[in-house]
């Protein structure tokens, strides 16, 4: 159909053949095959010129519409590849979404008004394929999977508690003291939590702690800690204000938890559209400044 439209637009089979990089005989054969398949004559041929049959004139309108639709589709794909347009479907932990997505993505979204965002803030692991997600932000240690993980940055985690809790229960001076304290754990599993700490002189401790209070929400654990209910581990950047104001106190400052990775997860390994590539870069730049 595209070849038929090209022949008519070019004015001859030989001109169309030159534009398409084919031989005139190949063009002629394909047109005859098209007429055979359709069961109608599309072109009246003479030694001097081509003319459309009545059926050919009707068919040409559809061919031109098809070619225009194909070109439009190609252009839309090019736009998706080269410019951030369309809808970006993104999922992130609720606390990360509340604290970090606006400062990370707002300047970029303002610069690209043809782009829309659909944000799914959830502390549950969303199925990227089933929910048609373009991008997921995940914090922690990535397990092996078919998904593609790109590291955006790392976060330092700290142990902290409210002054009211420490006044009631005392402040731990060494890792083993944590065993006697109430632990607020980022899990909903009814099992102990293992905490690894590295300290002065290359020393390391691995503790098996029982959770008094557990949640799948980092922000809810922070609120429980602020209420004086126990010790919690949190990303330093998420409790920096509370530590500065004194509503939380950092514990065991000479001992360090393993760093948390912050990852951008995509469901495919192939080339990503511009909206996904640029969102990842905006997040990486933000985390690098934070």
Q: What does the pLDDT look like over 35-75, one tens digit per residue?
A: 899 999 988 887 677 888 988 888 999 998 888 888 777 76
CATH 3.40.50.300 describes domain 157-258: no
What is the average per-residue pLDDT within 210-231? 92
CATH topology (fold) of 2-82 = Arc Repressor Mutant, subunit A (1.10.10)
> For residue 289, what is the enclosing H or E element?
helix 274-289
Residue % of the chain over a pLDDT of 90: 51
- CATH 3.40.190.290 positions along the chain are 157-258
What is the value of pTM for the model shown?
Answer: 0.64
The domain 86-155+261-289 is placed in CATH, from the list 3.40.190.10, 3.40.50.2000, 3.40.630.30, 3.20.20.70, at: 3.40.190.10
For residue 116, pLDDT beyond 90:
yes
pLDDT at 91: 95
The residues near 152 (Cβ < 8 Å, ≥ 6 apart) are 137, 262, 263, 264, 280, 283, 284, 287
pLDDT tier at 268 (50, 70, 90 boundaries)? confident
Q: Which burial class, exposed, middle or buried, applies to 171 when counting CB atoms under 10 A from its CB (0-12, 13-18, 19+)?
A: middle
Angle at 35 between CA 29 and CA 37, to 5 degrees: 100
What pLDDT score does 109 carry?
Answer: 95
Rounded Cα–Cα distance for residues 227 and 222 (Å): 9
Locate CATH 3.40.190.10 in the chain: 86-155+261-289
| Per-residue pLDDT at 82 exceeds 80 | no
């Amino acid at each position: 159909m595209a070849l038929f439209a090209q022949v008519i637009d070019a004015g001859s089979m030989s001109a169309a053949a030159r534009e398409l990089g084919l031989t005139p005989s190949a063009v002629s054969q394909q047109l005859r095959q098209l007429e055979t398949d359709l069961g109608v004559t599309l072109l009246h041929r003479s030694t001097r010129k081509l003319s459309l049959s009545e059926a050919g004139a009707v068919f040409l309108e559809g061919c031109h519409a098809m070619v225009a639709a194909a070109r439009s589709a190609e252009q839309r794909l090019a736009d998706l590849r080269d410019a951030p347009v369309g809808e970006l479907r993104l999922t992130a932990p609720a606390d990360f979404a509340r604290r970090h997505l606006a400062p990370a993505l707002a300047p970029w979204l303002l610069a690209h008004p043809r782009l829309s965002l659909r944000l799914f803030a959830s502390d549950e692991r969303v199925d990227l394929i089933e929910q048609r997600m373009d991008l997921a932000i995940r914090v922690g240690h990535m397990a092996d999977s078919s998904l593609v993980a790109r590291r955006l940055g790392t976060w330092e985690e700290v142990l902290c508690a409210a002054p009211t809790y420490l006044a009631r229960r005392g402040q731990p001076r060494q890792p083993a003291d944590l065993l006697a304290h109430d632990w607020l754990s980022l899990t909903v599993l009814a099992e102990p939590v293992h905490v690894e700490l590295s300290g002065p002189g290359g020393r390391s401790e691995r503790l098996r702690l029982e959770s008094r209070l557990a949640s799948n929400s980092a922000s809810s654990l922070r609120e429980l800690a602020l209420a004086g209910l126990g010790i919690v581990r949190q990303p330093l950047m998420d409790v920096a204000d509370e530590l500065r104001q004194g509503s939380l106190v950092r514990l065991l400052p000479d001992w360090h938890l393993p760093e948390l990775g912050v990852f951008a997860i995509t469901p495919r390994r192939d080339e990503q559209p511009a909206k996904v590539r640029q969102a990842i870069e905006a997040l990486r730049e933000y985390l690098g400044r934070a």
